[in-house]
């Protein structure tokens, strides 16, 4: 029997009517001969209201206790959806992260899935047609409840799909993946197909519809991944292996990340220990550092990189603590920049993409301060103010 | 190190202030060198509001899904209490039923604890001083979440205390166990000590402060059980083995159960198959039948018993279905009766209790329609209207 994994985010299950409508849609798929794993998040504002509750209790909840509290949100959603499905005649089992055999490792609030017990699903499908699984949660080696952090429910869904070797459909409040942000470039096209690699670049670079972690898992297991709007008839986007994509484009997307801080460190002489200490500290804090450029010149060492603006306090702490050992270390942080990226697996085969991109920016007087490239992307640090113009200019040039 | 199990019901943890005050009390006990298991229920009206939510979704939720939903209530309470304890410097671990190793058997919403893994507590106490455990819940052999039904959190607490071989303190909104209901007989005395057997009779017979199941477990494992008011300085009641009670009384309590239905069945001839079928059906529905009297006389078979008035629909269904096979079966149900009981382990040794009780009722013109006795109690079916007068009369006679 055909099996699929579907995932619905917090907005999609935001109220009881939405839950009912989703239930009817799921039933029609079961009636057409499918068995489904349905992964859901906490309803709409549940998580926020739980967080608000604890602000009356403590300003520094222990992470382990917070994970315990927050996971009740998804547990309630799976209960509600299962009740409705059962009511309309679908044999349904609700499963928490633990019951679904989702084992995690790492920090209580930012865990990663280490292992999923596919046998649990196999067994449950013997007597049920739909398994409703709580997203965003798992259980670690000490049997403690953990959450998966940002985009966690997507990760749950993709990891389950990978473990039972089927496809994964992520339903959300966007129609799918666009070549660039339609709010910036209104002619932007909805992509029918995009490769894992391109999607990962777009996720990491701020397109923001899917966390790159989910796409990474899908890529590793060759899991076909769909992104589309909940209960919409518009066809969304399939994210799949590059080899299976029919219409190859040189450039698939243009992404803009305005939530970035550009950091420049200088030190009067080259010092590898300093660099080592810095990167150790960044890794320890699980910080996402990007666009790293390191130059040694007559003034000594110069290192630039970008971080998310939500991590500005952490980076300051890290650098301050480095200056205790390296008193001559100086740094500048700028938040008036944005990161602009041109993405496409076609870059591998087709020459001239980089030069066309540079030419386009220059001819439109868009200044850039740093450039880095990967195999399938070119990224520029530009003035934040000119970011959106740059997106439109490049989208037009590459027919996004 | 001294270990104790404490249990706080839904009213006791009804709001965040109460939770904070309980946390401070717990901390002071830890500071005095104790390690504690703290079992809590869902906060105040949480369960009701969850039930109200689902009324918008379905009128007949599947029990398994309902258990999944309702158990989020306790999971939230353990999170909140743990956060506060951690905040005031107590090393605390929160544990759901599953994490506490509480294995259950039976119906999803009326499960019984089959086994508790004491090792879980031992391990958790190595790095924590308080373990906050979700009451009312467990997990069955299929890893499905179950609830323990009425008084379930008390059962959780007592069973944990039994498994780790320590005492159990139940905190609630009464001062302890009274010889009879102080609302009926205002001179009623708070008992400092009562035996398991007496408490079980009083629980089963409607005194209602503790479910008899909890007392039964305590008795089986010789677990000292305390009942008292949350955060009160008044000394409550210890429930303990009869042999350890210093001051023996002939009669410890007088109980009145007005929530009873008196059922009388008649059949034109003696028929054991009919009786067998009836009791099989009652057992299958887990119904509590009490005060059974069976007489064979010239009119044939006559059977009387009492049931809880909440089970009237079920008993009607059972009897109706019996009349299909036994068309001459007739029955009467009366709810204008009450059950009155005189309880005391002293009855075993001291003669004259029964005759004094009969004499007291008769001399006060209190009619009784049925009498049954156990080793430590005498129960009467009386008119509901005269129930309270009977309680006062007997309480005075036996100095309750």
Structure tokens at A80: 């509600």
Question: Could you tell me if A290 lies within 8 Å of chain B, comparing CB atoms?
Answer: no
Say yes or no for a CB contact (<8 Å) between B57 and A87. yes
Question: Could you tell me if B109 lies within 8 Å of chain A, comparing CB atoms?
Answer: no
Average pLDDT of every residue of chain B: 91
Distances (CA, A) of A45 to A2, A280, B5: 34, 37, 36
pLDDT over threshold 80, residue B275: yes
What per-residue confidence (pLDDT) applies to A208?
Answer: 63
CB contacts, 8 Å: A71 with chain B: 75
Nearest-by-CA chain A residue for B61: A83
Tell me, letter by letter, the H, E, C secondary structure of A145-186. Answer: EEECCCCHHHHHHHHHHHHCCCEEEEEECCCCCECCCCCCCC
Question: Could you tell me if B66 lies within 8 Å of chain A, comparing CB atoms?
Answer: yes
Pairing of strands A253-257, B145-147: unpaired
Average pLDDT on A226-255 reads 89
Evaluate whether residue A153 is within a structural domain. Answer: yes
Contacts of A160 (CB under 8 A, 6+ apart): A5, A37, A39, A100, A102, A116, A121, A133, A168
Residue A43 pLDDT grade (very low, low, confident, very high; cuts 50, 70, 90): very high
CB contacts, 8 Å: A53 with chain B: 16, 80
By three-state DSSP, how is residue B269 classified?
coil
Nearest to B96 by CA among B34, B67, B139: B139
In tens, the pLDDT along A114-173 reads: 999 999 999 999 999 999 999 999 999 999 999 997 778 999 999 999 999 999 999 998
Angle at B82 between CA B78 and CA B87, to 5 degrees: 155
Contacts of B120 (CB under 8 A, 6+ apart): B95, B99, B100, B101
Question: Could you tell me if A119 lies within 8 Å of chain B, comparing CB atoms?
Answer: no
Of B54, B72, B143, the CB nearest to A75: B72
Nearest-by-CA chain A residue for B132: A65
Q: Which long-range contacts (CB under 8 A, 24 or more apart) does A351-359 make?
A: A353/A250, A353/A251, A353/A378, A354/A378, A356/A397, A356/A398, A357/A394, A357/A397
| Through-space distance between the first and last CA atoms of chain A, rounded to whole angstroms | 39
Question: Could you tell me if A263 lies within 8 Å of chain B, comparing CB atoms?
Answer: no
Of A65, A80, A143, the CB nearest to B57: A80
Nearest-by-CA chain B residue for A70: B76
Evaluate whether residue B355 is within a structural domain. Answer: no
Of B57, B68, B76, the CB nearest to A78: B68
Evaluate whether residue B158 is within a structural domain. Answer: yes
Nearest to B134 by CA among B123, B145, B119: B145
pLDDT over threshold 80, residue B350: no
Structure tokens at A99: 């019951």
Say yes or no for a CB contact (<8 Å) between B86 and A57. no
In tens, the pLDDT along A318-362 reads: 999 999 999 999 999 988 899 999 998 878 766 688 888 999 999
pLDDT over threshold 80, residue B296: no
Evaluate whether residue A144 is within a structural domain. Answer: yes
Q: Greater confidence, A294 or B228?
A: B228
Average pLDDT on B390-399 reads 93
Least confident residue range of A14-18, A19-23, B249-253: B249-253
The CATH code of the domain that includes A117 is 3.40.1160.10
Containing structural domain, residue A132: 2-173
Average pLDDT of every residue of chain A: 91
Question: Quick check: B301 and B267 in contact, CB under 8 A?
Answer: yes
Evaluate whether residue B366 is within a structural domain. Answer: no
Distance from the B225 Cα atom to the nearest Cα atom in chain A, whole angstroms: 29
Contacts of B84 (CB under 8 A, 6+ apart): A57, A58, B19, B20, B23
Of A62, A93, A99, the CB nearest to B86: A62
Integer-rounded Cα radius of gyration of chain A: 23
What per-residue confidence (pLDDT) applies to A207?
Answer: 58
Say yes or no for a CB contact (<8 Å) between A98 and B94. no
Evaluate whether residue A121 is within a structural domain. Answer: yes
- Residue numbers of B between 19 and 38 with CB closer than 8 Å to A: 19-20
Evaluate whether residue B251 is within a structural domain. Answer: no
Of A16, A65, A79, the CB nearest to B86: A65
What per-residue confidence (pLDDT) applies to A370?
Answer: 85
Number of domains in chain B: 1
Distances (CA, A) of A234 to A10, A111, A192, A228: 20, 34, 11, 8
| Interface probe, candidates A44, A79, A92, A144, chain B, greatest B C-beta count within 10 A | A79
Nearest-by-CA chain B residue for A131: B65
Distances (CA, A) of A278 to A273, A320, A321, A325, B336: 8, 11, 10, 11, 82
Average pLDDT on B196-216 reads 80
Nearest to A94 by CA among A81, A107, A111: A81
Evaluate whether residue A159 is within a structural domain. Answer: yes
What per-residue confidence (pLDDT) applies to B205?
Answer: 64
Question: Could you tell me if A117 lies within 8 Å of chain B, comparing CB atoms?
Answer: no
Average pLDDT on B62-84 reads 97
Question: Could you tell me if B234 lies within 8 Å of chain A, comparing CB atoms?
Answer: no
In tens, the pLDDT along A193-217 reads: 999 989 988 876 655 678 888 999 9
What per-residue confidence (pLDDT) applies to A310?
Answer: 84
Say yes or no for a CB contact (<8 Å) between A94 and B68. yes
In tens, the pLDDT along A86-114 reads: 999 999 999 999 999 999 999 999 999 99
- Residue numbers of A between 126 and 155 with CB closer than 8 Å to B: 143-145
Question: Quick check: B395 and B185 in contact, CB under 8 A?
Answer: yes
Question: Could you tell me if A78 lies within 8 Å of chain B, comparing CB atoms?
Answer: yes
Nearest-by-CA chain B residue for A68: B79
CA distance B383 to A206: 77
Helix (H) or strand (E) segment spanning residue B122:
helix B118-125
Q: Where are the beta strands (DSSP E) in A45-196?
A: 92-95, 102-105, 112-116, 130-134, 137-139, 145-147, 167-172, 193-195
Of A60, A65, A93, the CB nearest to B82: A65
Question: Could you tell me if B46 lies within 8 Å of chain A, comparing CB atoms?
Answer: no
CB contacts, 8 Å: A14 with chain B: none
Nearest-by-CA chain B residue for A61: B83
Distance from the B27 Cα atom to the nearest Cα atom in chain A, whole angstroms: 16
CA distance B316 to B107: 22
């Amino acid at each position: 029997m055909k099996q699929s994994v579907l995932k619905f985010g917090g907005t999609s299950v935001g109220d009881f009517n939405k839950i009912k409508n989703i239930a009817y849609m799921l039933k029609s798929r079961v009636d057409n001969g499918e068995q489904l794993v349905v992964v859901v998040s906490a309803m709409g504002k549940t998580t926020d209201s739980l967080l608000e509750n604890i602000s009356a209790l403590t300003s520094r909840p222990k992470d382990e206790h917070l994970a315990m509290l927050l996971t009740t949100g998804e547990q309630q959603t799976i209960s509600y959806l299962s009740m409705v499905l059962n009511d309309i005649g679908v044999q349904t089992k609700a499963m928490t992260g633990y019951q679904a055999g989702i084992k995690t490792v790492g920090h209580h609030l930012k865990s990663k899935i280490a292992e999923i017990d596919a046998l649990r699903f196999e067994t449950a499908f013997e007597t049920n047609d739909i398994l409703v699984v709580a997203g965003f949660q798992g259980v670690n080696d000490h049997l403690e409840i953990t959450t998966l952090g940002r985009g966690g429910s997507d990760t749950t869904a993709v990891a389950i799909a990978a473990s039972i070797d089927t496809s994964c459909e992520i339903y959300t409040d966007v129609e799918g993946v666009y070549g660039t942000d339609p709010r910036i470039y209104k002619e932007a096209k909805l992509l029918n197909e995009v490769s894992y690699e391109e999607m990962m670049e777009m996720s990491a670079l701020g397109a923001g519809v899917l966390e790159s972690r989910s796409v990474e898992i899908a890529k590793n297991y060759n899991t076909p991944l769909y992104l589309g709007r909940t209960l919409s008839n518009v066809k969304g986007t399939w994210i799949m292996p590059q080899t299976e994509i029919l219409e190859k484009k040189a450039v698939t997307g243009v992404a803009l990340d305005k939530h970035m801080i550009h950091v420049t460190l200088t030190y009067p002489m080259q010092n590898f220990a300093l660099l080592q200490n810095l990167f150790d500290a960044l890794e320890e804090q699980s910080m996402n550092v990007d666009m790293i450029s390191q130059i040694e010149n007559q003034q000594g060492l110069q290192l630039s990189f970008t971080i998310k603006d939500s991590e500005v306090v952490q980076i300051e702490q890290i650098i301050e603590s480095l200056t205790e050992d390296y008193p001559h270390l100086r740094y500048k942080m700028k938040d008036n920049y944005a990161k602009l990226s041109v993405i496409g697996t076609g870059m591998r085969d087709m020459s001239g993409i980089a030069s066309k991109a540079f030419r386009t920016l220059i001819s439109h007087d868009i200044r850039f301060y740093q450039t880095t490239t990967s195999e399938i992307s070119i990224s520029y640090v530009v003035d934040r103010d000119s970011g959106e113009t740059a997106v439109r200019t490049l989208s037009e040039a590459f027919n996004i």
